[in-house]
Amino acid sequence: MRRIVSVSRRTDIPAFYGEWFMRRVREGFVGVVNPFGGQRYRVPLRRDDVDCLVFWSKDFTPFVAHLETLDRLGYRFYFNCTVTALPSVFESDVDRHAALRTLKHLAGRYSPGHINWRFDPIIRSSISDEAFYVRAFESLASELEGLVERCYFSFVAFYGKVRRNFRDLERAQGVQVAEPSEPVRIELANRLAEVAARHGIAMYSCCGDYLVGGRIQKAHCIDGVLIERLFGPSETPYKDKGTRPQCGCTESADIGTYNTCPHGCAYCYANANKLTARQSFDQHDPSSAFLGYSKAQSDAWLVDLTCG
């Protein structure tokens, strides 16, 4: 049975691991380690095994040529493109101008319907208050009018590692991050939704059902309904299977690995810390079937999977 493949919530494969991914496509499979249980398994990547590829990235620029190859091979795909307007202290290694330029290219090359613009996360801080967000969102929504139809957003999740990063940021940069109350978040979300509506963009709340209502809908970042709208009826029986509370995503196989994204974002939940992720990236072996692991380790695991 064909399946949706998520590329990837756990790291930025289009920005940093495009050559590795295309090698996995050529070889017809990718190895994955379940980050919660440690189980190892193969995810088929042959065209006949893949219903749709859902790509996630802060910058698709390095991946554009690979998309042309995938298109010629007959793969179906759409994009979760993150452009946040956050101050650079939160996203020190993200080239927002390149990301925005490439988002516009993708909308023109494929269609606005292929793009989920992710204005995510929203971080209330001493340098990014409500007025900042309304101005920044107005600027981006105006620039993207006619190029995107949907904007997905959420407020930052205060996981333990994220809190530690924010404390480090306050010590190093003097930036204080606040945890706004639910009424404050609702008010800001509704103001952004009003801005989006003026520019023909629908707003979707990711993993925040308390925000849904009025101009704000529930998000499905991986969305079987959208796939059928883009590509026609599917032979795959879709079912919802969220990855965390209030997640509206359709079931998929994610092929990424935590602690491998070197963007270095202060709010990242997918890395233990910036140094560990940078070391993983520097040690990356493009010939390994498992992202973030050596080829020797990968080959040993593949033998076990084949024999098992």
Integer Cα distance of 35 and 177 in angstroms: 28
Pairing of strands 29-33, 40-44: antiparallel
Residue 255 CB partners (closer than 8 Å, separation 6+): 5, 6, 7, 8, 13, 24, 30, 32, 43, 291
- What number of other Cβ atoms are within 10 A of residue 160's Cβ? 8
Q: Is the peptide bond before 280 cis (omega within 30 degrees of 0)?
A: no
Say if residues 137 and 193 touch (Cβ distance below 8 Å): no
Quick: pLDDT tens for 73-129. 999 999 999 999 999 999 989 999 999 999 999 999 999 999 999 999 999 999 999
Give the residue from 266, 265, 244 showing the smallest Cα distance to 254.
244
pTM of the model: 0.96
- What number of other Cβ atoms are within 10 A of residue 110's Cβ? 16
Q: Tell me how far CA of residue 115 lies from CA of 79, 144, 192, 193, 234, in angstroms.
A: 5, 11, 19, 18, 20
Q: Where are the beta strands (DSSP E) in the chain?
A: 3-7, 29-33, 40-44, 50-57, 77-82, 115-122, 150-155, 202-205, 216-218, 253-254
pLDDT at 166 over 70: yes
Quick: pLDDT tens for 174-232. 999 999 999 999 999 999 999 999 999 999 999 999 999 999 999 999 999 999 999 99
Q: Tell me how far CA of residue 296 lies from CA of 121, 246, 289, in angstroms.
A: 37, 39, 10
301's enclosing H/E stretch is helix 295-307
Domain boundaries, the chain: 3-296
